Structure 1
């Protein structure tokens, strides 16, 4: 039996109860050092992981151990593991394992076939939107073909229209991210209208604050209207975002201050 497997067994079999912290830390350090000092041991754990169930103690422990390696080494090992699942993504367990492994990487996913696999997962007709959102989180718009971005935004629009307010708000940032730049302001304007759920409207404000939505003149006009409306539940939040993200004229600042004072 090779070294890393033995250290892994020693570590995973430890009683995790209070009082064993020092022993747990010591065994984990032995496992981590075995991986760092003898890279071949990583291949051994990769093989072990291929037979482990996602979210099992074995699966989680191996990922934690590999994650303790320097970032470049850890990512290389994790991508090696992810490769095992790419060819079987029609299987739900393989998809879960694939996404779980990628969630532990620290760098942008670059292999083209993995990007295509992530798009494939995102476009599946599945009841759990978490899988769709997780797959999209690992991709960047510039990595996709225009046809793929169009398919993704079409699906997200459909999901938003047929989901709960909370889930719709979770999907809105991804819709904005994969939409063309000239479309984002219009989507944001429509999503922040007073007849929209507060969760959607807040998602737009958060997007502006994070720089994901352009602080354009169009958005400024919309937010000024919200901030000046004493009957709008988000007037205070709009005022704060205007002060944080936009260049306001003296006249606009005076007008806002006057409205806030009257409220």
Structure 2
């Protein structure tokens, strides 16, 4: 039936339609930048693309005069290390506590209310407490990511466990499986791909917590660099850094999607 809801673009049309908003945004920027630069060639709010190229060359391919580092790559390494540690710890906590809360009623009765309350606390509100408790070094930044992401992962995974068909657990018990065997052989294989999806959804908040912590107390990192140069209105540095962070987030999300598709192909088939 020829209705709008039934019309689907092919792969080529999907690509073109997806690229259209980006092309329009680029055109709007070029027009606005050209208009501002025509009035004031030294305008810093909407710099020309040549300014972006010069800033990228300076930050990525020329050593800093003071530190001798290639600042973009040094900042990227520092930020990705913090992000990886924070997400890794949060993912492990989400997997362990999410499964235990979902499977064991006594554990659920003890920890589910606590996790629910922790998930409602704005992580940025406790950032000063983390700085006081853990200092201004790496640990406080990593802990902010853990505290911000882990409760969500725990609640999401425990809810996914409770959504599993009860027949699976009953059949496993009928076959003589212990609680540990049910967790390892029945629950865990079902939850791993769902945990990866939850981590993908947590990438945005994790980056937010990381950038915020680096902006307040750091000596390197992508967030630190953005907030350092803002005082000079250096949009030629800020915008490429924002684009680089977006690209990194996209690549991490793509790799997690690829991991799910390669390791758990049955999940995609069941979703169809």
| TM-score in terms of structure 2 length | 0.22
User: Structure 1 length normalisation: TM-score?
Assistant: 0.23
Greater RCO (CA < 8 Å, at least 6 residues apart): 2
